[in-house]
Chain A
């Protein structure tokens, strides 16, 4: 018993055995179809995010207009994602599209200070807490939703679930956790100075959610 691992485990195993308690019943809240979207919007907006309802056809133009109005000069995008391809096809925006197409080591400067915004997709959304579920990938890396001052997230309405508990179970996350999974519920914020809320302390200052309506234009 020379190494700390053995000593720690030996002490823990020597402790008196205790019964494993049952988990009492508990369930996360559920919502009706209309209520769900309203709750999602209300929670996100309360967290200082902007929510825009868009369609599969019009979202690139809506995105252009929203970002141009904010004076954005360049936006990071994922050239190999479906959304990235749709956006880049025939791009004629007022600002430049910058592809995240190399490892971070090769484009750190651009990522850290060189772009004003980034577009990612979200796997799903959660009504209870107004959260986006991101599973960053090789195509859509982790830093996209973190370094640029504005994060735009495209999320399909049909992926909207009631709670994290529901999504975790329904999609059996435990069987296939990715390198990194993130829930995002608003722009970066802090209240460390006198409990006063301030946005954009280290992550994005703004979160813009494009909620892709289920039926095109309904």
Chain B
């Protein structure tokens, strides 16, 4: 799979994005709008604090009991008639989905928006086996037509403006004239996709919350494509990460009050779709078979470290990226992998490995904007720092994939020298004197130094150190 060859190149891609004025303008406009709408929703600080404390506790409680709740979810789903599958890797999950579709003779699939299926690169896998999967969320449909990946986890085509979308539709949708009218563009997508819904042999969706108590899959959305994908075709396959489980149905309301308000500044999404079983005898619609695929893909390894496992509390609202001074300037594609922004910077290195995404925890100023807006209080900046450490000094217990991959002999020697210098007055004096004499002769492009000077001016060494000057003035150090 293409996914396995991916390696993060944050610096290189950020440079390109920062010099793309159209991209910068598209993100700036969208992010400003989302931040303003979210702020209006949480104007009452007391309400916000009480609600997010509850939301964080609900998620933490679910994670503290994760294995038991997954077993309960599986048992309840099976009792309700939903078939449950477990996949350790994305390859296994792809094979399970393909197997279900092939067993049902399904050739045409309609998809509701799902980041986990993006993580799996499911569409490419199905296409390679002769099954056409059509994205039906408007944003996902647009980027599928363009042959691109989502640049935001809630608003996948946020990097495109309406002129680009108008050109794309005129080019790709048969009989579609060029128009920048958003209502007409939306109507064109409705018309193009109606038939795809009706023809589909199966619908594939994600899951926002999976309730262990009742075996209920909760899906939220505004367009109705999620409901159509999970209602009209005879077969529904829901795919989710193992961390999305909740203990009780009563845990849904506080999270439902946090998620859409944090994501898009809406009090609630148009549809909250709660699926508990396939079509029962006598019912006239709904899929006759419902499958739930539980994907691990590294999450159980993340779970093994009690600090890093806070990453798994995430409810995918995207508020962290909307408020991130880095993400809002470089956009989602700069992050290479499925999950961009602050949550991506802690999740991707853990799922994919610090050896292929180790630069991401460094793409942050640690300003804490993400932690301030996180509805489930994930300490993202602390975890960024922790991952930076894991890349150099891997802890035995965490076992972060690719831990220690940033170790370098020269850096380690450099720090050892630094420690020795500051531990001995004599060495300190000798080194500072040498720097004063020869430091300005060392070129900015010298090995080790160039990583610092590539984006900064090389400091100028004074001929005399502060200690020297002080001694000359007659100050004594005792």
Q: Which residues of A contact B (CB under 8 A)?
A: 3-5, 7-9, 11-16, 18-26, 28, 43, 47, 100, 102-105, 108, 112-113, 128-131, 137-138, 141-143, 146-147, 163-165, 168-169, 173-174, 177-196, 198, 200-204
Contact = CB atoms under 8 A, between A and B. Distances in A.
Nearest to B59: A21
Contacts of B162: 193-194, 196
Contacts of B231: 142-143, 146, 180
Given A180-B231, A182-B272, A188-B224, A201 B138 contact: yes
B61 A102 contact: no
B314 interface: no
A187 B161 CA distance: 24
22 contacts: A7-B88, A11-B300, A12-B300, A12-B303, A21-B64, A25-B50, A28-B253, A28-B257, A168-B253, A179-B279, A180-B273, A180-B274, A181-B276, A183-B272, A189-B270, A190-B186, A192-B157, A201-B138, A201-B223, A202-B136, A202-B197, A202-B224
Contacts of A189: 222-223, 270
Contact of B61 (A12, A15, A23, A141): A23
B142 interface: yes
Contact of B88 (A8, A25, A164, A165): A8
B71 A9 contact: yes
A99 to B, nearest CB: 11
Contacts of A164: 252-253, 256
B193 interface: yes
B248 interface: yes
B274 A182 contact: yes
B320 interface: no
B249 A179 contact: no
A173 B249 contact: yes
Interface residues of B, number: 94
A141 B227 CA distance: 13
Contacts of B269: 185
Given A4-B88, A184-B270, A202-B228, A177 B301 contact: no
Contact of B306 (A8, A18, A43, A188): A18
Contacts of B268: 129-131, 183, 185
B53 interface: yes
Given A138-B284, A190-B222, A198-B182, 11 more contacts: A8-B70, A9-B71, A18-B64, A20-B64, A23-B57, A103-B284, A177-B214, A179-B277, A180-B231, A184-B270, A195-B33
B332 to A, nearest CB: 14
A184 B67 CA distance: 33
B144 to A, nearest CB: 12
A192 B276 contact: no
Contact of B227 (A9, A187, A194, A203): A203
Per DSSP, are chain A's interface residues mostly helix, strand or loop, or mixed? Answer: loop
B262 interface: no
A15 B65 CA distance: 11
A12 B193 contact: no
A200 B198 contact: no
Contacts of A179: 275-280, 283, 286
B150 to A, nearest CB: 11
A193 B138 contact: yes
B347 interface: no
A163 B256 CA distance: 11
B142 A174 contact: no
B30 interface: yes
B315 interface: no
A23 B376 CA distance: 13
Interface in B237-288: 242, 248-250, 252-254, 256-257, 264, 267-280, 282-286
A146 to B, nearest CB: 5
- Nearest 4 pairs of A and B residues by beta carbon: A203-B224, A192-B139, A26-B54, A183-B272
B225 interface: yes
A141 B285 contact: yes
Interface in B35-68: 50-51, 53-54, 57-58, 60-61, 63-67
A165 B250 contact: yes
A4 B87 contact: yes
B137 interface: yes
A47 B267 CA distance: 10
Contacts of A201: 138, 186, 189-190, 223-225
A20 B253 CA distance: 20
B185 interface: yes
Contacts of B300: 8, 11-12, 15
Nearest to A78: B284
B284 A141 contact: yes
B400 to A, nearest CB: 14
A28 B155 CA distance: 28
A178 B161 CA distance: 41
B232 interface: yes
B29 A8 contact: no
Interface string B295-333: 010001101101001000000000000000000000000
Contact of B285 (A4, A9, A23, A143): A143
B227 A168 contact: no
Given A11-B300, A193-B182, A182 B54 contact: no
B472 interface: no
Contacts of A204: 224
A150 B280 CA distance: 27
